[in-house]
Amino acid sequence: MAQTSMNSGLRRQVLTLQVLTPAVVVILWELIARSGILYEGVVPTILEVASAFWNELSSPELYHHFGVTLMELFGGFTIATLVGVVTGIALGSRPFVSSVADPFLSSLATTPKIIFLPVVMLIFGIGPESKVALGALGGFFPIALSTMSGTLNVRPVLVNVGKALNLTRWQMLIKIYLPSLVGPIIRGMRLGLGVTIIAILLGEIKLSNAGLGFLAIEYYNTFHIASMYSILIIIFLTALSINAVMSYISQRFDRA
């Protein structure tokens, strides 16, 4: 809440700098592009990037690849969330099991998931399925870990209220555990989404036949650098808007 306590003069300064920063970056970019310091084509001019960007937006091919990436994201993230939440609750409701599993989960969580690329390739092939698997694998750990620690920390007195009323296991899950876990699950999802996006794009860049990551690396290989940048911008904007939606959701539902 630092921003609300700032006086309006300071806030205007912050805003000015925030607007100026990208403007400065654009100007520097243009200067570097025109100076010829770097090889021609490595840093195309703003105009070239802008026209490539426009070309991309008007080409149906982009939407095909965009759709593939979105579907992979949706599939991978859905699987990560479902499996992560179920695993987290299953482990967290048994403190003994969770203390056994915790070091494994934590160390796997920090391992870059891209090392599993050869494995998922072997199993799922070169198509979107292997990216979905990689994305699911990436998002799974933060969600499972956050749900697990949330489950361990569900207030015992609330569980006792349920016990005193003789709740069934199912009622206990639906009426007491899940509502208590909304915060930890959403926090895990926010972390997991970032990892899923990274894993899927890395997978696409490394070895695939469709998707925004594939398109970017295709343009790189064929030395269409301006088009490559425009794809990077599209990826950046997509990640930005997904993140905005996610933080809206978390503010709306996470009262903790």
Partner 1 sequence: MTATLEVRNVSKTFESDNGDRIQALAPANLGVKQGEFLSIIGPSGCGKSTLFNIIGGMIPPDSGEVIVNGVSVSGPHKDIGMVFQEESTFPWRTVLDNVAFSLEVAGMEKKERLEKARHFVELVGLTGFEHHFPHQLSGGMRQRTAIARTLASEPRILLMDEPFGALDEQTRLLLGDKLLKICDALKQTTMLITHNITEAVQLSDRVAVMSYRPGTIMRTIDIELPRPRDSELISTDKFAGYVGRIWEDLRMEADRGMKAAGEA
Chain residues binding partner 1 by CB under 8 A are: 155, 157-158, 160-161, 163-167, 171, 175-176, 179-180, 182, 255
> With respect to partner 1, which residue has the nearer C-beta, 106 or 168?
168
DSSP 141-192: HHHHHHHHHHHHTS-HHHHHHHHHTT--HHHIIIIIIHHHHHHHHHHHHHHH
Q: Are 253 and 179 in contact (CB under 8 A)?
A: no
Place of tokens 């700032």: 6
> With respect to partner 1, which residue has the nearer C-beta, 18 or 166?
166
How near is the Cβ of 102 to partner 1 at its closest, in Å? 21
How near is the Cβ of 159 to partner 1 at its closest, in Å? 10
How near is the Cβ of 182 to partner 1 at its closest, in Å? 7
How near is the Cβ of 73 to partner 1 at its closest, in Å? 29
- In the numeric block, which tokens belong to residue 174? 């639906």
> With respect to partner 1, which residue has the nearer C-beta, 82 or 161?
161
Beta-carbon contacts of residue 105 (< 8 Å; ≥ 6 apart)? 91, 141, 144, 145, 148
> With respect to partner 1, which residue has the nearer C-beta, 151 or 230?
151
- Of 197, 168, 219, 200, the closest CA to residue 55 belongs to 219
> With respect to partner 1, which residue has the nearer C-beta, 117 or 176?
176
How near is the Cβ of 163 to partner 1 at its closest, in Å? 5
Buried residues in 37-63 as b, exposed as e (16+ CB within 10 A): eeeeeebbebebbeebbeebeeeeebe
